Structure 1
Amino acid sequence: MASATEEDGVVPQVFSVEKHETEIKLNEDEEFDDNPIEEVRLTVSITDDPTEPVLTFRTWVLGIASCCILAFLNRFFGFRQNQLNIGSVSAQIVVLPVGKLMAATLPKTPIRIPLTPWSFSLNPGPFTLKEHVLITIFASCGSGGVYAVHIITIVKAFYHKNLHPVAALLLAQTTQLLGYGWAGLFRKYLVDSPYMWWPANLVQVSLCRALHDKDKRPKGGLSRLQFFFLVFSSSFAYYVFPGYIFPSLSALSFVCWIWKDSITANQLGAGLNGLGIGSFGLDWSTVAGFLGSPLATPLFAIINVLVGFALVLYVIVPISYWMNAYEAKRFPIFSSNTFDHLGQTYNISRILNPKTFDIDLSSYNSYSKLYLSPFFALMYGISFATLTATISHVALFDGSDIWRMWKMTTGAVRDKFNDVHTRIMKKNYAAVPQWWFHIILILTVALSIFACEGFDAQLQLPWWGLLLACAIALFFTLPIGIIQATTNQQPGLNVITELIIGYMYPGRPLANVTFKTYGYISMSQALSFLGDFKLGHYMKIPPRSMFIVQLTGTIVSSTVYFATAWWLLVKVDHICDTTVLPASSPWTCPGDDVFYSASIIWGIVGPGKMFTNQGVYPEMNWFFLIGLLAPVPVWYFSRKFPEKKWIKLINFPIIFGGTGYMPPARAVHYLSWGAVGIFFNYYLFRRHKRWWARHTYILSGAMDAGVAFMGVFLYFAVQSSGKSGPDWWGAPSNDHCPLAKCPTAAGIEVKGCPLLH
């Protein structure tokens, strides 16, 4: 979702409700004959068969099974050092032959439900595209993650406190469901509008069509399905090298190999713990593992992300570090850990009152202020700028459109945004009643208050804090939804929610992370719901069926995520504690330790002791103003020079948030992601558009699936029994730049680093 990683707040941001300039045919009613976005026209069919079976026995069985399996595997691997995210595309491929087998073998005789007039068939006919799409939605619920599990993990594994399992389960479920309550408010704008095109959905559309359409093989070429399996098998076979035999392929950093004894050279060249100059990876998980597939990201978004990445990592961070701003040389140049004034890891036990589980001010004052690495500190400032830039950008560039859409929803202005897909959906299927959303909202708010206020208030968050978190999420859902629907990126609310509750209710780490989770994830889940609705819109799925599947999948997946996490936290001794675990243990919880650091920064110490004159970083607050003002010149010049269309593509929410997934993403991931994205979405899109339209999204899905299947195979075949790959130079999963983690200030002692004088 960050400078301090996705868990800690800054998620790559992008924007632009860029209205693609393309010729659009209008009929007498001024309705689009097709979608105005070229990528959509090239990918999405404008036909529909409303008689196709949808919510069938096969849908429920295969969908729930996919949801449970992916939820278990993703949470299981999430605790491990080498994380593996298995996306819904893997299930999408596996269920196709299973669904066809069920269609060929199950009996077709209707089964009557006792004491009711209803009946159903185990086999309503051939396995359909619409069944396949709904099963994929189930699978995406299982692969999407449950953010609240981080809270459960840090309570039990880092703070070593008790947490009632019912409170933990309610926390996991309500944070996932709360956003659905207000998602219905924004369907008109974020789903029905053809300009809200949700680029990531086109990968699913393309793959589904490749798997189901009768695709005529071009002369001398391959059908879509043949192309998919060719790429899938190649990706599957190749991943045995970076996944097992040669893990160092994931990050090749030549600069620090040449000057291996120089701390500065290691800092400049390390792709994993430095600036990554000259670093690259020969591994698809390096390219797409953190920022998503670059093949599904619009070119203007890629360019903006890379501009922001370069400004931060190659201009601002080096200047601040080598000028020793905030005593930066005492710490690594790139780290998400917290430090004391001596450059050592901050000892949280020295300032935390074990009885009240809040800060002991006298102990804090006698120990040390909290310090961050220069990169980590700057990422918080830039996340402030990203948030205000998002508000400013949306208001300037899309304020009038948003206002017009609100008037359209009340019937005051005629809806000019109808395209062929919206007309088909309105004609063939009933919409989801608004009261369905209201019922979910009332129930989840009530259960959320019970989870926070009940169970001896273990989560520390009072009822007013929960309602404030809901208000923040509701306010940001529309502007951030516009960003995601047009750029494939989602700004995170982590930092702003941490900041607000940190000032209002300081010294309570669990209150802080609980407020953050309700404020951020309810917005994120609302957008996930709407994004899936757009996929259903493209694939002509009845909205009520989509609603039922998404709701059921969310409840099932959050339950499985919770159960898996609770089981491992109880079963694995010393899980997440790297000071006690054996060196070979995989249970290091790399995402959870960043979440834990955030709870220290914002919850225990608090922003009042970090970003005011009481702390080290008060200047970071200027970024709020910088972000608010930055889009103004772009807006002004875009109006002054309307013929220069490239000006509108300068997007400060993306530029400021370009480094949003760092860490856990590192420089090598950005450089590899950007290079692949530019090659496909600039060179191939312009020089070989027919090939791009036919193959790009299929290529993306096949690469993801190949890596996921080989990763699972390697774990269960060899790694689960403790067998490692060959013992040689390329075996470590690092870039062989150990000195990149070292400080450069004189007199700072760090294990594994030279002591400078």
Structure 2
Amino acid sequence: MSPSLQDEVSSQEHSQDASHYPVDEKKAPVDVGTEAGNFESGEEEEESIHHPADKDDILTHTLHLQDDPTLSSLTFRTWFLGIGLAVFGGTISSIYYFKPQTVVVSTVFVAVIAYLMGEGMAMVIPRKGAIGRWLNPHPFNIKEHLAIIVMANSASTAALGIELLAVERLYYDAKLNGALSIFLLFSSQMLGYGLGGLMRKTLVYPKNMLWPSNIPVNNMLETLHRPRAETRKPLKVFGFVFTAIFLWEIVPEWIMPILTGVSIFCLANQKSAVFTNVFGGASGNEGLGLFSFCFDWDYISGGYSPLYYPMESLISQGVGVILCIVVFSGVYYGNIWNAQNFPFLSQVLFSENATMADQLQWNQTLVIGADNRIDKEALALVGLPSFAATYAVNILVSNMSISAGIVHMLLWNWNDMQAALSAFYPSNLKRKFNPKNWNLTFWKSEATVEPNEENYDPHYKLMMSYKPVPNWWYSLVLVLSVVIGLICLYKGDSTLPWWGFLVSCLVAWVFLLIFGAMQAVTGIAFIIQPIVQLIGGYIQPGNPVANMYFCLYGYNSVTQGALLCTDLKLAQYGHLAPRVTFTMQMIGTLVGAIFNYIMMNSIVTNQREILLSVEGTNIWSGQQPQQYNTLSVAWGGLAHELFSVGGRYEWCSLAIIVGFFAPLPFWLIHKKFPSLGMNNVNTSVMIYYVSYLCVGINSSVMMFFLLGFASQWYLRRYHPNLFIKYNYLVSAALDGGTSVIVFIMSFALFGAAGNAVSFPIYWGNNSNGNYDLCLYTD
């Protein structure tokens, strides 16, 4: 244990009989504002909530502003459960990565399992004697719980590096040795952590950086760890909702899958391909799901509950989805890009010269030479590849939303972002390069920096009681990641030069700043992979392998930086000591990367043929590495031919320019007519959702918005007390109960541990076609 962590431990009081929130005056919790969760409140609380749409209500009513710094977070339980769940998260996230349906390890699921196991250890392990005092010093508390969640979260997202390693083995017959592979994963993960940690003042501390996905988790933790006398009613609500959804999910997931998407239009006409494309959506890549009703919370939420998205975000998403249906239908039935020659929804490359359905896929093996570069002669023979038109639209609007997002954040959130940008002002750069100013202030602790009470999250004030993480910790992580990354690139024959790697790091820094802030404000994690691969494709043309490595560091680092900031905000809301958070994140990431690699190596070795097949099986699928390979070939190998001016998909690149101007009309209208509410329209989110329905199961979209608006508009506006007390608690219970039962069914029924157990086929389980009984189309 490092000296700083030892100081952290020694500063905490370990009392065998300490309760979760001690009432001893000598150990009184620090209180800097309204205490959340007064579940017995009446008219006085109702009067105190004047603006239910204000972020301050979330930060001061839904989440408590009370902390007890004496609660111990680093105990035997923390290390045992944290490392154990990190091993589980790293293993299961790799397994899920190679599944037919994309699944994520939910934070709520981790939180529920950690709570059950932590309380179980506190009850079972003796508390007497020296060993008892070490293993079970006090009741399981919220700080231990939060530390375990942070460690497990850090390991529970599959590293993009395993995708690159899988693609190299599957498509290029290249295999890095084990040590080099693990260091590659380490460097790509930690690079994002270093960048994200140095952006804390911009992406974590301000109150506008809400990170909405954390609120249900923190709200649930507070409820679980308050004294039972205060939380009897909310715990009953949580338990009832958790149990109800746990039992209910068996029905739509296994017994009656038609409930995944009930389409009145498809039931009325089961012989129309048009109806399937527009109204179907209960099966993967089936249709757009217009007017379908979904009763499966697993698909409605998917780990991103509609109950926690801010209202302005829901509005922008809803407008985007409506436009998506219009644009997709217009492009396909207008036969733009020869759309009707290919499937309505698909993500693979197709041959423009194909005449038979079984010859549609483009043959990359013939075009990519032994040096992993594009063979121009073979390309002339085979021809350029084509996309399904809807997937081309996805690339186009993704790029457009990225440039729109940059302008949107500069227009609407400039005050929040200038803390990160100010370091690059000429005056500051001049001062930093002046030897007279080299007093190492950069490396000093931030403890002397007082928070801005107007712009900073009120929970940050409570964090001033703890030793902060110095900037040099994150700087060291960043420097080591860059050095290790460069070694891996050259030892692994990546074909990406050192300067290309540094450009990818710069791209990651810019995009993390912009889209990390976007995710913090809206709750939406943008997929910026296309534009990162576009940049890599133009600086290294005709080189798909180099493009994969460029994307690894330019895109994965953004994802990892956002994950770090998410957990930093989770810890800030829960008042976990910053140095404990840092340690949990670093150890969790290292453990997760190791087990990511172990499972990837095993699966790719044993399931190679299945992963290379188009269909896969009901247990294994190579859909994600296939998509990664496809984009690397298109962008890295053929960017000039496909996407430059004059190319078939030139507007996929030109859309970037259009995106820079998209937010301006809404901003100008708001300046002239502020009462119109144009500030609630996030142009980049709206554009991003214009292609939202390009993949997967879409029958859940209508229910997502119905429930989201019911929560964030009706309940929040007309019943603010109910909203504050129960909205995020119910959201956590729904996600938690669903995650637990889906995990159990994955192994017991769906074949994760062997053969699947199928429910008998009948009208409610049309497993031989589309579950919503729409016409089945290839």
Given the two structures, how large is their TM-score scaled by the length of structure 2?
0.83
CA deviation after TM superposition for structure 1 residue 540, in Å: 1.2
Name which of structure 1's ranges 520-529 and 269-278 shifts more when overlaid on structure 2: 269-278
2:312 corresponds to which of 300, 307, 320: 300
**In 2, Cα distance between equivalents of 1:412 and 1:573:** 56
CA deviation after TM superposition for structure 1 residue 240, in Å: 1.2
CA deviation after TM superposition for structure 1 residue 132, in Å: 0.4
Q: 1:685 aligns to what?
A: 716
Amino acid of the structure 2 residue aligned with 1:421 = H
Decide whether the 8 Å contact of 1:387 with 1:627 is kept in 2. yes
1:417 corresponds to which of 455, 458, 465: 455
Is 1:725 paired with 2:759? yes
1:338 corresponds to which of 342, 349, 368: 349
Q: 1:366 aligns to what?
A: 381
Indicate how the Cα distance of structure 1 residues 190 and 318 shifts in structure 2: closer, same or farther if over 3 A, else same: same
Structure 1 runs (4+) deviating above 6 angstroms are: 404-415, 737-741
Amino acid of the structure 1 residue aligned with 2:344 = I
Q: 1:452 aligns to what?
A: 489
Indicate how the Cα distance of structure 1 residues 366 and 436 shifts in structure 2: closer, same or farther if over 3 A, else same: same
Decide whether the 8 Å contact of 1:330 with 1:342 is kept in 2. no
**In 2, Cα distance between equivalents of 1:159 and 1:728:** 44
Q: 1:548 aligns to what?
A: 583
2:514 corresponds to which of 474, 479, 482: 479
CA deviation after TM superposition for structure 1 residue 730, in Å: 3.2
1:439 corresponds to which of 454, 462, 476: 476
Indicate how the Cα distance of structure 1 residues 318 and 363 shifts in structure 2: closer, same or farther if over 3 A, else same: same
1:207 corresponds to which of 207, 220, 230: 220
1:505-524 superposed Cα distances (whole Å, 9 cap, x missing partner): 12222211221121112122
Decide whether the 8 Å contact of 1:497 with 1:520 is kept in 2. yes
2:372 corresponds to which of 340, 343, 357: 357
Is 1:631 paired with 2:643? no
Is 1:511 paired with 2:546? yes
Indicate how the Cα distance of structure 1 residues 693 and 723 shifts in structure 2: closer, same or farther if over 3 A, else same: same
Please give the secondary structure, in 2, of the residue aligned with 1:357: coil
CA deviation after TM superposition for structure 1 residue 567, in Å: 1.1
**In 2, Cα distance between equivalents of 1:538 and 1:383:** 32
Amino acid of the structure 2 residue aligned with 1:198 = W
Is 1:588 paired with 2:607? no
**In 2, Cα distance between equivalents of 1:495 and 1:654:** 16
Name which of structure 1's ranges 136-145 and 725-734 shifts more when overlaid on structure 2: 725-734
Name which of structure 1's ranges 566-575 and 482-491 shifts more when overlaid on structure 2: 566-575
Flag structure 1 segments of 5+ consecutive residues without an equivalent: 1-34, 113-119, 743-751, 753-757
1:595-640 superposed Cα distances (whole Å, 9 cap, x missing partner): 2321222123x21111125631113333112210011111112112
Decide whether the 8 Å contact of 1:569 with 1:575 is kept in 2. no
Q: 1:193 aligns to what?
A: 206
Q: Which has the higher contact order (CA 8 A, sep 6+)?
A: 1
Q: 1:163 aligns to what?
A: 176
1:121 corresponds to which of 124, 129, 134: 134
CA deviation after TM superposition for structure 1 residue 739, in Å: 8.1
Q: 2:300 aligns to what?
A: 287
CA deviation after TM superposition for structure 1 residue 171, in Å: 2.2
Q: 1:14 aligns to what?
A: none
CA deviation after TM superposition for structure 1 residue 97, in Å: 3.5
**In 1, Cα distance between equivalents of 2:209 and 2:399:** 26
Matches within 5 A, 1:45-124: 45-104=64-123, 105-107=125-127, 121-124=134-137
Decide whether the 8 Å contact of 1:145 with 1:561 is kept in 2. yes
CA deviation after TM superposition for structure 1 residue 207, in Å: 0.6
Amino acid of the structure 2 residue aligned with 1:277 = L
CA deviation after TM superposition for structure 1 residue 264, in Å: 2.0
1:679-727 superposed Cα distances (whole Å, 9 cap, x missing partner): 2222222232222211121222222222222222223324333322223
CA deviation after TM superposition for structure 1 residue 489, in Å: 1.2
Provide the aligned length of Structure 1 versus Structure 2.
Answer: 690
**In 2, Cα distance between equivalents of 1:683 and 1:216:** 30
Please give the secondary structure, in 1, of the residue aligned with 2:324: helix
**In 2, Cα distance between equivalents of 1:569 and 1:140:** 24
CA deviation after TM superposition for structure 1 residue 289, in Å: 1.4
Q: 1:699 aligns to what?
A: 730
Indicate how the Cα distance of structure 1 residues 82 and 724 shifts in structure 2: closer, same or farther if over 3 A, else same: farther
Amino acid of the structure 2 residue aligned with 1:121 = W
Please give the secondary structure, in 2, of the residue aligned with 1:668: coil
Indicate how the Cα distance of structure 1 residues 269 and 203 shifts in structure 2: closer, same or farther if over 3 A, else same: same
Please give the secondary structure, in 2, of the residue aligned with 1:359: coil
Amino acid of the structure 1 residue aligned with 2:501 = L
Flag structure 2 segments of 5+ consecutive residues without an equivalent: 1-53, 424-445
Amino acid of the structure 2 residue aligned with 1:372 = F
1:619 corresponds to which of 620, 644, 651: 651
**In 1, Cα distance between equivalents of 2:758 and 2:462:** 54
Please give the secondary structure, in 1, of the residue aligned with 2:199: helix
1:356-395 superposed Cα distances (whole Å, 9 cap, x missing partner): 1221111111222211111111111111211111111112
Give the percent of matched residue pairs that are identical in Structure 1 and Structure 2.
27
**In 2, Cα distance between equivalents of 1:739 and 1:688:** 40
Q: 1:325 aligns to what?
A: 336
Is 1:711 paired with 2:737? no
Indicate how the Cα distance of structure 1 residues 210 and 591 shifts in structure 2: closer, same or farther if over 3 A, else same: same
CA deviation after TM superposition for structure 1 residue 735, in Å: 3.2
Decide whether the 8 Å contact of 1:293 with 1:700 is kept in 2. yes
**In 2, Cα distance between equivalents of 1:165 and 1:661:** 37
Indicate how the Cα distance of structure 1 residues 47 and 217 shifts in structure 2: closer, same or farther if over 3 A, else same: closer
1:279-319 superposed Cα distances (whole Å, 9 cap, x missing partner): 232101110117x11111112101101111111222x2222
